[in-house]
Amino acid sequence: MPSPTSPPPPPPRPAVSVGDVLFRLLCQSAGAFVLFVAFALVGVLFWQARPFLFGSNPAQLFTSSNWDPGKGQYGALVFIYGTIATALIAMAVAVPLGVGAAAYLSEIATGRMRTICSFLLELLAAIPSVVYGFWGIEFLARRGTRPFFEWLGLENTAAGQGILAAGLVLAVMVLPYITAVSYDVCRSVPRSQREGSLALGATRWQTIWRVVLPYARPGIVAACFLALGRAVGETMAVTMVIGNAQELNFSPAGTGDAIPSAIAKILPETAPSDITKRAALISLGLLLLVVTLVTNVSARLIIRWLGSTRKARPMPEPDATAPARVDVLLPNPAPMDPARAAAARRRQLLVDAVMRKLLALCQFITVIPLFLILGYITYQGAAGVDLRFFLKEPDDGGLGHAIAGSLRLVALATALAVPVGIFAAVLLSEYRNSRFVPVVRFVAEQLGGVPSIVIGVFAYAVLVYPIWSSKPWGYSAWAGAFALAVMMLPVVIRASEEAMRLVPNGLREASYALGATRWQTVVRVIIPAALPAIITGVLLAVGRIAGETAPLLLTAYGSNYWPRSLNDPTPFLPYYIFNYSKMPDGSDEIRLAWAAAFVLLVLVILLNVVTRLAAGKRVVAASQAG
Amino acid sequence: MTPIARVMLLLGTFAFAGCGGGGDNATEGGTPVRVSAGGATFVDPIMRAWAKDYRKAKRTEIDYVKSGSGKGIGDLTAKTIDFGCTDAPMSRKEFDAAKAAGGDVLHIPVTMGAVAIVYNMPGIEHLNLTGAVIADIYLQKVSKWNDAAIAALNPGVALPDKAIVAVRRAESSGTTNIFSEYLSKVSPAFKEQVGTTKEMKLGGGVGQQGNDGIAGFVKNNEGALGYVELAYANKNKIATAKLTNKAGKLVGPNSDSVTAAATAAMGAKPTAEPYTLHDLTFSLTDADGDGSYPIVGISYAIMYTKQSKDKGPAVVDFLKWVVVDGQVLAKDLDYAPLPLELGKKAQAKLDGVTFE
């Protein structure tokens, strides 16, 4: 029965369904949780630092180098100087090398070389800091800086350990970050710029020096800031090689101490009842937090400023009258004497050849430490790995319990961080127009820059001895996993958000067109499409926390037996690398430490290779959240 | 994605269920009690041996995590461990803080040991030192191995013209307390500039964490000199110096010279803090007697007199076993056994612990 008129359009679907509201709420609460954790972190630290900050003389941290809590002296200049000096050495070494290596990779290297080198850099970035520290003591200090100081006739009281060794270890640690980010920035320099320069007769080197690097400068500066934030907050590697001096020593061969290292060493042995000492240490933690926040925010601002100026200044339209005027104003230069021109050209070509080699050398030097570390640790550790190592407790000469404990901590942390991270990422990617979103994104980025020792202090104050409780909850796997989860969260969020943003809009539209609600679209279409990349991000984050030591010393405590309850102190593998690394050559413990370092290294590298094979994607760039 | 998920699942199962993998005794009648303990590295070698034996005998796991006496006291005060160990009795300030947090604290002596002066200088097979010279080395007044002060004590030894790297502890340490107590007794300059302390404030030198940290550094680095519990020196085959004791005799660190010092020193009633604050604590440094090694200390287990019902009995039983039966292990591990009388007194103290 045909109707005389076309049927009225169906009533528009209600804009929101109950499911949508709930889903949105879920995502928002994940975002709110991230904000809550970040603000709680700052709040808890501030609360604990309060007795010192508002005490009689908080300025003494900066004015005195006398740290003697027993006598009420809290001068922290030794730590502050150590932090600044090591960070400066690290930057002085890593920035030229890293930028040179990036320029080589981006402008000179062939495709295959580029793949190999970026893979090696990713491995370098994945090595846990405790392994760097171990290598720093055993190789860099004993076989590197010590003979160097002796050769120069400088007095070093710590067998090569000290500010310089710590700075060099830091340099190796931040190199992959500087190189990776600078490489990305160099790649983003428009092709036309290079072509223009080459077409004008510039050599490769002139193009790199006059065109590519100036264009990329703001991005490179941002990379350096990110690396600086990392260097300042680094704990384990510095603790192990800086020499633990108690007074200022400005000699290049001097020993020192750094802020994170001092917190890691002194805070655990400070009873909660010793309020002022605790508060002074946590004030230092707060200082560290502020410094890393400032460097990170400056880096983001530079990147944003870079983006906005590029957009704000579009290419000027070619002006038809301009060429004529140039002709009038600038007389053509007189032609050069052919002999002189040829000589100049030869000189340029020579410089070009030398500089190309130099850039290649930068790249080469950048990956040398990787081979030194892998080689030395394999050489020392591979022989110690046997079945007993995996199946026994330390009483019977194995570290199986610590491997089980580490797996447990990492699994628990992943279980905590991944759901929150993914829902927060859905909020950032799918509810982009909420005003809440930029705040969450910004805070999550900043959370990624918080030094791990500070996160450990926070987890201790929340889960081990909660500041509001009169009774301790005790060291536990929960506390350790929470600290690790807080470290993982920013990486998971960033990777998941990027993955979801890359899902083509067509898929979303098709899903809506078929009548799916928003949450159905997200859960059934977007997340499955983004899943491989999300898993990549999660694996990366797992690699990052698997070797984490500093926060676990404050939360999981360690144990000599197989882990049992999640409420008990829990063993973790890096603990044994840190603790046994101090033992004399030839002892059983040092053998276990080498074996543990080897196993951890293999695990982390495997994780990276698997990730890479699975995703075929550059990983360092994706881990930039951290 | 599926294979990855499967691997993850597998790893997860291992992490959570597979922990029984090495716990052979988990199958025989219930789970053993696990006592969480930590602190001094001084006692760690013997504590590990005790824990191993005791676990076989009594199905109680003593989970001792070494970290330094300072952390032992801090964690006990925070009640995040069941008992701690320290080689320095709690100071008045620490004792007051602990009392405020959880009531009275017991100091139970568990073992005695020598703090050996270890060094690494090829060519010097035997080294004789005095307390005053050691103090000067740490005060940087004696900085070369061929200094006249060392040469006078070691006639006929070819001393090299190399710098001495004085190694100290980087964290709050009971071993440092024993060491600095001795140096303060024999060197007025040291007493004035540094004093008896768990954390020596010194210019120069290098700090290492734990007895093992100092042992490792000295063993691995030429020119280094440090102080460690004797077990760490002997286990790692590091040369130790002989010291001139109060009676003017040269004595090396060993179990007998520790016992001699203890016998001589325990007779006198302690007169100074912190020893007057606690029962069963003694200062054994710079003791009288021809055979006494001068740097000797006691390691104490510290615990609250009020204990929880679930862990408390296990802690008390373990420590009662340690102070008498456990002492047979001491000599082999380069510690000195507690006098039986002291062990019995400690047991009586432990009987006074209440559970709630």
Q: Which of B15, B212, B215 sits opposite A408 (nearest CB)?
A: B15
Q: Tell me the mean pLDDT in the region A434-454.
A: 90
Strands A67-68 and A73-74 come out as antiparallel
**pLDDT band at residue A623 under the 50/70/90 scheme:** very low
* Portion of chain B with pLDDT greater than 90, in percent: 59
Beta strands per DSSP E along A132-186: none
Judge whether residue B153 has pLDDT over 80. Answer: yes
Å from A483 to nearest chain B CA? 18
pLDDT at A252: 82
Alpha helices, DSSP H, located in chain B = 2-17, 44-58, 69-78, 92-102, 131-138, 148-153, 174-186, 188-193, 210-220, 230-235, 255-266, 312-323, 340-351
Q: Tell me the mean pLDDT in the region A402-429.
A: 94
Residue type at A278? Answer: R
Q: Which residue of B has its CA nearest to A474?
A: B80
**pLDDT band at residue A611 under the 50/70/90 scheme:** confident
Determine the residue among A65, A139, A143, A244 to mutate to test chain B binding: the one whose Cβ has the most chain B Cβ atoms within 10 Å. A244
CA distances (Å), A585 to each of A595, B221, B232, in order?
A: 14, 10, 13
Mean residue pLDDT across chain A: 86
Q: Is the pTM of this model over 0.90?
A: no
Long-range contacts of A250-254 (CB under 8 A, 24+ apart): A250/A81, A251/A154, A251/A155, A252/A154, A252/A163, A252/A164, A253/A145, A253/A149, A253/A152, A253/A154, A253/A155, A253/A156, A253/A162, A253/A164, A254/A156, A254/A162, A254/A163
**pLDDT single digits (tens) A312-357:** 555 555 555 545 454 555 566 677 788 888 888 899 899 999 999 9
pLDDT at B21: 40
Q: Compute the Cα dihedral for A522, A525, A528, A531 and give only its sign.
A: negative
pLDDT at A625: 38
Judge whether residue A197 has pLDDT over 50. Answer: yes
Q: Which of B34, B64, B204 sits opposite A568 (nearest CB)?
A: B34
CA Rg value for chain A: 28
Are A274 and B16 in contact (CB < 8 Å)?
A: no
CA distances (Å), B44 to each of A24, A486, B62, B65, B294, in order?
A: 55, 33, 12, 8, 22
Q: Tell me the mean pLDDT in the region A461-470.
A: 87
Q: Which of A411, A587, A614 sits opposite B15 (nearest CB)?
A: A411
Q: Which of A268, A273, A563 sits opposite B77 (nearest CB)?
A: A273
**pLDDT single digits (tens) A289-309:** 999 999 988 888 887 777 666
ipTM value of the model? 0.86
CB pairs under 8 A between A and B: 182
pLDDT at A337: 83
Q: Which of B71, B220, B238 sits opposite A268 (nearest CB)?
A: B71
Are B38 and A557 in contact (CB < 8 Å)?
A: yes
Half-sphere exposure of A457 (CA within 13 A, CB side): 38
Judge whether residue A462 has pLDDT over 70. Answer: yes
Q: Which residue of B has its CA nearest to A569?
A: B36
Judge whether residue B265 has pLDDT over 50. Answer: yes
**pLDDT band at residue A618 under the 50/70/90 scheme:** very low
**pLDDT single digits (tens) B76-120:** 998 899 999 999 999 988 899 899 888 899 999 999 999 999 999
Q: Tell me the mean pLDDT in the region A60-86.
A: 88
Q: Which of B15, B48, B171 sits opposite A269 (nearest CB)?
A: B171
Q: Sort out which chain B residues have CB atoms less than 8 A from A243's CB and list them.
A: 206-207
Residue type at A128? Answer: P
**pLDDT band at residue A476 under the 50/70/90 scheme:** very high
Contact B176, B200 (CB under 8 A): yes
Q: Which residue of A has its CA nearest to B32?
A: A564
Q: Cβ neighbours of residue A530 under 8 Å, at least 6 residues apart? A: A496, A499, A500, A502, A503
Judge whether residue B2 has pLDDT over 60. Answer: no
- Range 139-198 of A in CB contact (< 8 A) with B: 142, 155, 157-159, 161
For chain B, how many residues are written? 356
Å from B256 to nearest chain A CA? 26
Contact A189, A283 (CB under 8 A): no
**pLDDT single digits (tens) A234-278:** 888 998 898 888 788 888 888 889 999 999 888 888 877 788 888
Judge whether residue A101 has pLDDT over 90. Answer: yes
**pLDDT single digits (tens) B288-315:** 989 999 999 999 999 999 998 888 999 9
Q: Sort out which chain A residues have CB atoms less than 8 A from B67's CB and list them.
A: 268-269
**pLDDT band at residue A394 under the 50/70/90 scheme:** confident
Q: Which residue of B has its CA nearest to A555?
A: B80
* Better pLDDT: A169 or A327: A169
Are A584 and B67 in contact (CB < 8 Å)?
A: no
**Alpha carbon of residue A578 to chain centroid:** 20
**Would an 8 Å CB–CB cutoff place A20 in contact with chain B?**
no
**φ, ψ for residue A478 (rounded to 5)?**
-60, -50
